[in-house]
Amino acid sequence: MTDPTKQDRAWLALADGTLFEGRPFGARGVTIGEAVFTTTWTGYQEVLTDPSYYGQIVTMTAPEIGNVGVNAEDSEAVSGAPSVAGFVVRDASPITSNWRAEESLDAYLVRHGVVGISDVDTRKLTRHLRDQGSQNAAIGTESPEALVRRAREAPNMNGLDLVRAVSPRAPYAWTAGRGSWNTEAPRPPEHHVVVLDCGTKTNILRCLVDAGCRLTVVPATSSAQDVLALKPDGILLSNGPGDPAAVGYAVETIKGLVGKKPLFGICLGHQLLSLAMGAKTYKLKFGHRGANQPVKDLTTGRIEITTQNHGFCVDLDTVPSGAKSTHVHLNDGTSEGLAIDALNAFSVQYHPEAAAGPHDAHYMFERFVKLMRR
């Protein structure tokens, strides 16, 4: 715990009144968002820049953060900017030591205006969020009472459409693959894929390019007619932040696309496809966030260790006939995959592109390509 005699104190205040003392880290000021935790041990830059974290104050459970610095190549946001509302760490490394580093984590957060806090008992915080559930929080150097008040006045994540904040305003083409990170030779473009961008990670786009896809990325507000006018061979429904039930415009678009072209949904895309088919979603107590999430493939019995980042889930009891559950989370039995074979559509709740994380599920991109080829 920080020495109370020091003047450089900051506070993380939860909406339930719980306080965590620490030191200012990154940009100075006040920030508000939903406090969540991720069990990812590597890839903090990927966490910072994942658009699915928009509006959230992210706690890293790994104790030391910042030792490898930050670089432009590892951003998971097309813009290159961080997506999180705030950042919570135990030990902020005072040094940066990596041949790929271009700047320190602290300088990066300052440059982008991301308010953080260090020297926090993140183990205690994680246990609290696990037991009491994710909730709104505020970080700053204001009085603890003022920060608690800010957290309590913040809008609830339920019913919140955050996709509009991270989706592009106009279509664009994407041509970059994973480069030196790709262990296989990239294929020449064979299929045209339209990506409905609800906050896509760049590594999803890179993996599709390496799999032989030419990409056109369109806003989440695009209509089914807009998408089909581009004459795609397949359609990718991307990840993204917020409550899927609040993104009704994308659900209506997907209703007009299902059965027209092969569809592949990832994370939020899985939830939106399920909603389009008539299922319902609900908010998880503290969500699944990390690169060590166990998933069972119900078709093969195979167990995959996956990267995940979601706070909402598909209600398996509401999945309609014609759609089948294909994957479940081994920790709590929640929905991790869906298939509508008759309509050439499937989806997964986890991230097959990883970044960071294991590559157990990378075969999903090949499955999508085979579906388009067929």
Q: Given the DSSP bridges, would you call strands 263-266 and 345-348 parallel, antiparallel or unpaired?
A: parallel
CA distance 240 to 201: 9
Q: Given the DSSP bridges, would you call strands 303-314 and 281-297 parallel, antiparallel or unpaired?
A: antiparallel
Q: Hey, what amino acid is at 245?
A: A
CA distance 205 to 355: 12
| 342 exposure class (CB count in 10 Å sphere: 0-12, 13-18, 19+) | exposed
| 97 exposure class (CB count in 10 Å sphere: 0-12, 13-18, 19+) | exposed
Q: Hey, what amino acid is at 372?
A: M
User: With contact defined as beta carbons under 8 Å apart, do 215 and 205 qualify?
Assistant: yes
CA distance 103 to 300: 45
Report the b/e string of 249-283 with b at 16+ CB within 10 A: ebbebbeebbeebbbbbbbbbbbbbbbbbebebeb
Alpha helices for the chain (secondary structure H): 44-49, 105-112, 122-132, 144-153, 163-166, 202-210, 224-229, 248-255, 268-276, 363-373
CA distance 267 to 263: 13
Catalytic positions: 267, 351, 353
- Neighbouring residues of 252: CB distance < 8 A, sequence distance ≥ 6: 224
Q: What three-state secondary structure class fits 265? A: strand
- Other beta carbons less than 10 A from residue 93's beta carbon: 17
Is the four-CA dihedral 180, 183, 186, 190 of positive or negative sign?
A: negative
